[in-house]
Structure 1
Amino acid sequence: MNTIIRTDGLTKHYGRVHALDGLDLSVDEGQVHGFLGPNGAGKSTTIRILLGLARKTGGSATVFGQDPWHDAVQIHRRVAYVPGDVSVWPNLSGGEAIDFLARLRGARTKDTAYRTERERLTTAFQFDPRKKGRAYSKGNRQKVALIAAFAVPADLYILDEPTSGLDPLMEVVFRDEVQRIRRGGATVLLSSHILSEVELLCDRVSIIRAGRIVESGTLQELRHLTRTEVSFEAADASALAGIPGAHDGTLDDGRARFTVDSDDIPSVLPVLAQRSVAGLRIEPPSLEELFLRHYGDDLAALRAAEDAGSTGGGTRASRRAAIKES
């Protein structure tokens, strides 16, 4: 399988700030690859380097085997890009802006095939292309970029928080379009902090923290790194006794619950079968749980700082320092 995007030891420094600090990322052809992390983790900086909009400080980055800084023109002919905060020309209509963006990518906007596809997308996204850009809300500006990207076929789609400003119905339309281009053989790098979106769409996920990839793999592979929750109907806590590898056992509303290392599930099931448990449920770890495995300490530090602030403890600067040190 061809590797479409590859970075090795990629760094980007802004003075003393290390936005990227040895990032290793690999995206194979035909994948929808989730690029997951909170704001400030380095996602957008990585994308700017991949698009040739920023120059790396060190390491290497290639797109289609080419250097994005020196070969940006050739790369952009094969790439569709949607940013998370779209600006449009105030005096152009939405339709004119879409056509202009499409022409920049080589589309013949008078061709019937393009016009048909643009019409299909404007209907699907419930978008009025007749209004001027200055009249559009954030969500409608986002639709301009999405329609322009999906209306013209590309080998690689780089989507940076693409559903920002969209309502839930339009998010469903977006997911349908990503599935369509994947079936057509395109590669997608989807940068997002919306865990449910990544979980529904992506073949592989890379989690970025402080400018480095801390986990990468399929959801199934990553789930082996944490525990699965098991529950069944029970009258009292004694039902949890003697289950091999069980952790965090509790009894709540007539159900016994415990967690077990995902790799140990096959050894636990025969024990439960011997006990003839009823109402058995096995819930693999969600992407949110995998994410919090790396960012849970940040959340705890933030809550502690907020608690200190609400009780008057510490200055704003000291609370920020506590979060940073975590």
Structure 2
Amino acid sequence: MSVLVTQSLTKQFGSFTALKDVSIDVREGEVYGFIGPNGAGKSTTIRILLGALKASGGRAEIFGKDVWQDALEIHKRLAYVPGDVHLWPNLTGGEVIDLFGRMRGSYNQKRKNELIELFSFDPTKKCRTYSKGNRQKVALISAFSSEADLFILDEPTSGLDPLMERVFQECVAQEKAQGKSILLSSHILSEVERLCDRVGIIREGEMIETGTLEELRHLTRTNLTVRTKEPLTGLTELKGVHDVEQEDGTVHLQVDGEELDLVMKHISGYGIVKLESGPPTLEDLFMRHYEGGGAER
């Protein structure tokens, strides 16, 4: 069952087309990753879904209701976390969380207290004293204590340290286990890989790929930088090896996760002097796989 659906969604600002035929389908109990470079149209899409912008064309529905006409009804079952949280400077974090809860009509006090502890958050301080990470925690605690059916999360871990990112990921997993749906907009590919069931990639206002991470295997490749005692050869003949580049005796390549063991055995035969590995960044993904018309705007 689909909780959030857009079909051929378009948005124009004068002669500029910000979105063109954007179609998204978020199902019940699913974490859907919505990724793309800056300026791709992610925030415009989310503002339309929240009822803050009116689409120029197409259809957008949440819980079977029109996002523009029925925004008030939809928001009773929806929680939203932006990437840049602005709060009332003279209220404490705890007062803001309670205010959001009362505005919603109801929220889980017990869950709120658990989340405050999990996120190591001090709710007694004034919001003007909070760092970006702590302002983010206010929004996350408010959202996850709201008992919403759909969470729209736009760069939700912006400003959080790695430990708090892990707490966030655990919260998402818990909501999913309860059958809740999550639309996660993120530029952190490792986060998307860890959390999402399916992924939609947007570039220049158009959806260019949608599928499971298994189907979009190039998202989960490992970047390797290798220097060996003997000249490294035969890589291009190995299964799962992509984008091999050589520079001053150093080899750069990408390897599919399931072939990593075989590739490393091959490389080790040449005497490894230096080895660096890491997941591809979103910038790297777009440079390598979607170059040609992928410039930011």
Normalised-by-shorter TM-score class: 0.7 to 0.9
2:7 corresponds to: 8
Q: What does residue 116 of structure 1 align with? A: 110
Amino acid of the residue matched to residue 166 of structure 1?
A: L
TM-score normalised to the size of structure 2? 0.81
Q: In structure 2, what is the equivalent of residue 174 of structure 1?
A: 168
- 1:240 Cα deviation after fit: 2.3
Instruction: Measure, in 2, the Cα distance between the counterparts of 1:221 and 1:121.
Output: 35
Q: Which residue of 2 aligns with 1:206?
A: 200
Q: Distance in 2 between matches of 1:242 and 1:287?
A: 22
Which secondary structure state, in structure 1, belongs to the residue aligned with residue 66 of structure 2?
Answer: coil
- The one-letter code matched in structure 2 to 1:20 is L
The equivalent residue for 2:34 is: 35
Q: Describe the superposition over 1:136-163 as per-residue Cα deviations: whole angstroms up to 9, x where unpaired.
A: 2222111111100011211100001111
For residues 250-286 of structure 1, the C-alpha deviation after alignment (integer angstroms, 9 at most, x for no partner) is: 7999x999778x7xx7xxx8xx99xxx899xxx9985
Q: Distance in 2 between matches of 1:160 and 1:242?
A: 39
> Which secondary structure does the structure 2 equivalent of 1:96 belong to?
helix
CA distance in 1 between counterparts of 2:138 and 2:253 reads: 48
Stretch of structure 1 that moved more, 240-249 or 202-211: 240-249
Q: Would you say the 8 A contact 2:213–2:220 is kept in 1?
A: no
* 1:160 equivalent in structure 2: 154
Task: Answer yes or no: is 1:134 the counterpart of 2:138.
Answer: no
User: Structure 2 CA distance, aligned partners of 1:230 and 1:192?
Assistant: 23
How many residues align? The count is: 289
Query: Shift of residue 134 of structure 1?
Result: 2.0
Q: Which residue of 2 is the match for residue 144 of structure 1?
A: 138
Change (3 A) 1:59 1:293: farther
Counterpart contact for 2:155–2:187, Cα < 8 Å: yes
Question: Does the 8 A contact of 2:229 with 2:270 survive in 1?
Answer: no
Could you tell me the percent identity over the aligned residues?
52
Aligned to 2:85: 86
CA-to-aligned-CA distance 1:187-234 (integer Å, 9 cap, x gap): 0000111222112111111111011111111111011799888999x9
Q: 1:241 to 1:158 in 2, by over 3 A?
A: closer
If asked which structure has higher relative contact order (CA below 8 Å, sep 6+), I would say 2
In structure 2, give the amino acid aligned to 1:7. Answer: T
The Cα of 1:123 is off from its aligned counterpart by 1.1
Equivalence for 2:69: 70
Shift in CA distance, 286/204, structure 1 to aligned 2, threshold 3 Å: farther
Q: Deviations over 1:47-93 (max 9, x none)?
A: 11111111000111111111010111211111111111111112221
Counterpart of 2:198, as a letter, is R
Question: Which blocks of at least 5 consecutive residues in structure 2 are unaligned?
Answer: 272-276
Q: Give the CA deviation at 1:135.
A: 2.0
Q: Which residue of 2 aligns with 1:54?
A: 53
Q: 1:73 to 1:226 in 2, by over 3 A?
A: closer
Distance 1:170 1:15, change over 3 A: same
TM-score relative to the length of structure 1: 0.74
Query: How far, CA to CA, are the matches of 1:40 and 1:295 in structure 2?
Result: 15
Structural RMSD (CA): 3.8
SS of the residue 1:220 aligns to = coil
- Structure 1 or 2: larger strand share? 2
Counterpart-to-counterpart distance in 1, 2:90 and 2:6? 39
Instruction: Work out whether 1:106 is the aligned partner of 2:100.
Output: no
Change (3 A) 1:214 1:150: same
Distance 1:226 1:169 in 2: 22
What is the one-letter code of the residue matched to 2:98?
D
**Structure 1 pair 158–240 and aligned structure 2 pair: CA distance change class (3 A):** same
Say which one has the larger Rg: 1
Is this contact kept in 2: 1:83–1:159, CA < 8 A? yes
Query: Hey, what's the Cα distance between the residues in 1 that align with 2:151 and 2:217?
Result: 27
Counterpart CA distance in 1 for 2:236 and 2:61 is: 53
Aligned to 2:274: none
1-structure distance, mates of 2:223, 2:136? 38
The residue identity in structure 2 corresponding to 1:176 is: E
User: Structure 1 residues 278, 9: closer, same or farther in 2, change over 3 A?
Assistant: same
Q: Is the 8 A contact 1:5 1:63 kept in 2?
A: yes
